[in-house]
Copies of this chain bind each other. A is one copy, B any other.
Amino acid sequence: MTTESRRALAGAALLRGEITTALRRALLEELAAVGYGRLSIEAVARRAGVAKTAVYRRWTSKLEMVLEVVSEVAGQRLAVPDTGSLGGDLELVLQIMAHTLRHPLASQIIPDLLSEAGRDPQIAQTLHQALRDAQKDVGVQLVDRAVARGEVPPGTDLDVALDLVVGPLYWRLAVVRQPLSPDYIPRLAAATAAALEKP
């Protein structure tokens, strides 16, 4: 149940939604600035301009707070329109990915939490759940379509295909952090399409 709905239902003096919003925003900013490891509840409250107890009234721990806020952001589904060809679909998906990974907060938070997922099973479960869902979207909307069009053979290994689509751009933007030349994404899309089309 969201804070707002609770306020609407009860009409009583419950959590003030404006402060919850400020805390959510402050959490993401702080997460990007110092990372999960160094994240302190004090700093989040300070950044939101709010007392520490405001946090403890809403979440019981740093982990719970991060999981709730992040899973809400990460849970958004992605609709990929059908452009009519595998190459076109690929280019569109890569453009969307690039747009997301270029966001200053996202480009810091995503690699940080993914690395933390190697230590904390709860973070791992939450993030890998979100990843799996997002990848399934891409797999269904992109690979399955290409199979239906006859562009790729039906026996295509979905595991390899997904890694081929997502891996290079993530490596480039989130790991090596090099800028993209203007025609990088079209080239990458073409090369990836070639990899998928060959049996």
Residues from chain B with Cβ under 8 Å of A151 in the complex = none
Q: Among the listed B36, B108, B112, B163, which residue makes an inter-chain contact with A188, where contact means beta carbons less than 8 Å apart? A: B163
Known: A35-B37, A38-B38, A184-B160. Contact between A118 and B177, CB under 8 A? yes
Interface residues of A, CB < 8 Å — how many? 48
Closest chain B residue, CB of each to CB of A116: B35
- Tally of this chain's copies: 2
The residue on B at minimum CB distance from A187 is B160
Partner-B contacts on A (CB < 8 A)? 33-38, 107-108, 111-112, 114-119, 124, 128, 131, 157, 159-161, 163-164, 166-172, 175-178, 181, 184, 187-188, 190-192, 194-198
Which of B167, B177, B187, B192 lies in contact with A170, CB distance below 8 A? B167
Cα distance A107–B159 in the bound complex, in angstroms: 20
Q: How far is the CA of A57 from the CA of B142 in the complex (A)?
A: 57
Of listed A36, A116, A184, A191, residue having the most chain B CB within 10 A:
A191
B-chain residues with CB within 8 Å of residue A197 when the two chains form the complex? 194
Docked CA distance A196–B69 (Å) = 40
Q: Which residues of B contact A198 (CB under 8 A)?
A: 190-191, 194, 198
> For residue A172, which residue of chain B has the nearest CB?
B163
The interface residues of chain B lying within 8 Å CB-to-CB of A181 are 159
* Inter-chain contacts of A119 with B (CB < 8 A): 33-35, 108
Query: Shortest distance in angstroms between A153's beta carbon and chain B's nearest beta carbon?
Result: 12
A191 to B33, CA, bound (A): 38
